[in-house]
Structure 1
């Protein structure tokens, strides 16, 4: 049975101060959004917005999508998740992943080595620790002398894996509680589902959808091309898009980026690729396109919303846009 997915929004929304999100979080469930998601790279950390959301609303699920597996110790990640679970029992979903060298090595000075094994080892540790086990001994990428959480969450948080290609997708379901994928078109979702294979009950397959609710194509291109050019030239995303079949369409983008012409690389992004990877149009058109990401096997849709001009400063306007994008 293809049940309706949960819908969530990535916070903080661009252009809105974190402290100004309370009214938005409080109203999200009335608009059909059950999840508050965060991500972590070079800006806001993943856990502070979720702690605020937990204080602002008892009706939303709190989810990271994702936290890098390398930039915190395994026990610290377990502590973060367990602390959130203490104040929001049954409402925490911990997404971890390999991230990219720009967020691990370039700004944190941590070697980006064996990302698959590191992520797998962190997931193995978290699953054991969050269930109250005493964890000790060597993993492939680190060694734990001995750790047990001082208290065990009443309902341990699910642990899912940020995953792009088949190996990481399967690992998320075999070692953890599922996977979250992003930077893909609705037409790519069946390939993700096929790579996952049979999904046991209770596992999560989350799709992160980038959305720019504007029918001004010039604004959409200006707002989205710099980000897309940057992320599509991170090695994991290069290989992901090649696997999805966009290698030829992005070849010139990669050539210019490798030559140091970042602005040229952004200009070279084909319009059809922008439209596939960053849903745009009127809010109503965007909602229709977002709904296409719901395929059998997908349990949650996570929206990253780039707001159109003039909206971010008006909380009621933000809520109107979210209401037009969401399931209600």
Structure 2
């Protein structure tokens, strides 16, 4: 591990949006590198919460993981992302992905080929954010001479959420980084990087590909019990390196193992029943982060 791994924390959408400010401010003040938000159906919108968190803070990066592409026209997604990047330069990180297919079906947005949709969306989105005029006639994404009036003034990353081998390879060739779900062990992370690198090689890409991974984490009173319940709710095996419960040293050790396996950023994901979400963000920044430097 040549460079220190970045450290983040998740604001879970199971919390009402009026709780976001206290968590975002705690993350910002604690020295935490990143705060990540989810757009789970049908809780909270990722762009609105990201804009609010960025406005309430001064330095922490805010990531959205992820925006389901079936829900968004690519031009609208590009406009939203460009506003975040122009208004808060260098502090926004947005991920796109398939979304949960059952949820996509609930809103009439399920497509026959999620992989084709994601590839077309990524290609058009990255070109729009680069300031290009885009005309494309794909299976799902169709644009006719579309150009953003206010694109980001500098190149920005677009990450893809990926889990299966085909999507991992797609992320490697068509995205600038990959977001991996909680439950990704160091071994699975190494395997994922192999698939990502295969996609990058096929596309002739040599730029840095940022890998962000969630780590299910519990600390404080009843941490082991809360982690066990969360494992069950997420259907994660009771195996080493799948999740971590304990104090700062134990959490930092788990983060280092993921960093050694290829993670650029590890984002601590609290349990849904964590008694103090703002305290969790402060713990990550004030106690875990210094151990990784």
Q: Please give the TM-score of this superposition, normalised by the length of structure 1.
A: 0.76
Q: 1:280 to 1:112 in 2, by over 3 A?
A: farther
Q: Supply the distance in 1 between the matched residues of 2:160 and 2:11 (Cα, whole angstroms).
A: 19
Aligned to 1:180: 179
Corresponding position of 1:25: 24
Structure 2 vs 1, CA of residues 327 and 219 (structure 1 numbering), >3 Å: closer, same or farther? same
Identify the range of structure 1 (288-297 vs 62-71) with the bigger mean alpha-carbon deviation. 288-297
By how many angstroms is 1:217 displaced?
A: 3.6
Which blocks of at least 5 consecutive residues in structure 2 are unaligned? Answer: none
1:221 aligns with 2:228: yes
Deviation at 1:71, TM superposition (A): 0.8
Q: What SS class does the counterpart of residue 294 from structure 1 fall into? A: helix
Secondary structure of 1:127's aligned partner: helix
Is contact 2:135-2:146 (8 Å) kept?
yes
User: Which residue does the alignment assign to 1:243?
Assistant: none
Quote how far apart the aligned CAs of 1:279 are: 2.4
2: CA distance between counterparts of 1:113 and 1:184? 27
SS at match of 2:166: helix
Q: Alpha carbons of 1:277 and 1:112: their partners in 2 closer, same or farther (altered >3 Å)?
A: farther
Q: Are residue 200 (structure 1) and residue 165 (structure 2) matched?
A: no
CA-CA distance at 1:122 after TM superposition: 0.5
Query: 1:200 offset after TM fit, Å?
Result: 3.0
Is contact 2:160–2:179 with CA below 8 Å preserved after alignment? yes
Aligned pairs for 1:169-318 (under 5 A) are: 169-182=168-181, 183-197=183-197, 200-213=206-219, 216-226=223-233, 228-229=234-235, 270-272=237-239, 276-295=241-260, 297-306=262-271, 310-312=275-277, 315-316=278-279
Q: What RMSD, in angstroms, separates the aligned Cα atoms of the two structures?
A: 2.6
Q: Which moved more, 1:316-325 or 1:203-212?
A: 316-325
Kindly tell me: are residues 170 and 34 of structure 1, through their superposed partners in 2, closer, same or farther at Cα, counting changes over 3 Å? same
Provide Cα deviations, 1:32-87, integer angstroms capped at 9, x if missing partner. Answer: 42212122121111112210121112312222211111111111110110111121
Greater CA drift, 108-117 or 281-290? 281-290
Counterpart contact for 1:61–1:92, Cα < 8 Å: yes
Q: Which residue is 1:98 aligned to?
A: 98
Aligned mates of 1:63, 1:32 — CA distance in 2:
16
Of 282, 285, 291, which residue of structure 2 is paired with 1:319? Answer: 282
**Contact 1:213 1:306 survives alignment (8 Å):** no
Q: 4+ residue stretches of structure 1 with deviation over 6 A?
A: none
| Residues 317/159 of structure 1: CA separation in 2 closer, same or farther (3 Å cut) | closer
Determine the C-alpha separation between the residues in 2 that align with 1:111 and 1:308. 31
The structure with more radius of gyration: 1
SS at match of 1:179: strand
- Cα separation, partners in 2 of 1:298 and 1:201, compared to 1, 3 Å: farther
TM superposition shift of 1:317: 6.9
Query: How many residue pairs are counted as aligned between the two chains?
Result: 282
User: CA offsets, 1:8-27, max 9 Å, x none?
Assistant: 22224754x43333343234
Q: Could you say which residue in structure 2 is the equivalent of 1:8?
A: 8
Q: Secondary structure at the match of 2:154?
A: coil
Structure 1 unmatched runs, 5+: 230-268
CA distance in 2: counterparts of 1:223 and 1:309, whole angstroms? 10
CA contact (8 A) 2:161 2:179 kept: yes
TM-score by length of 2: 0.84
Conservation of the 8 A alpha-carbon contact between 1:7 and 1:327: no
- Is the Cα contact below 8 Å between 2:187 and 2:261 reproduced in 1? no
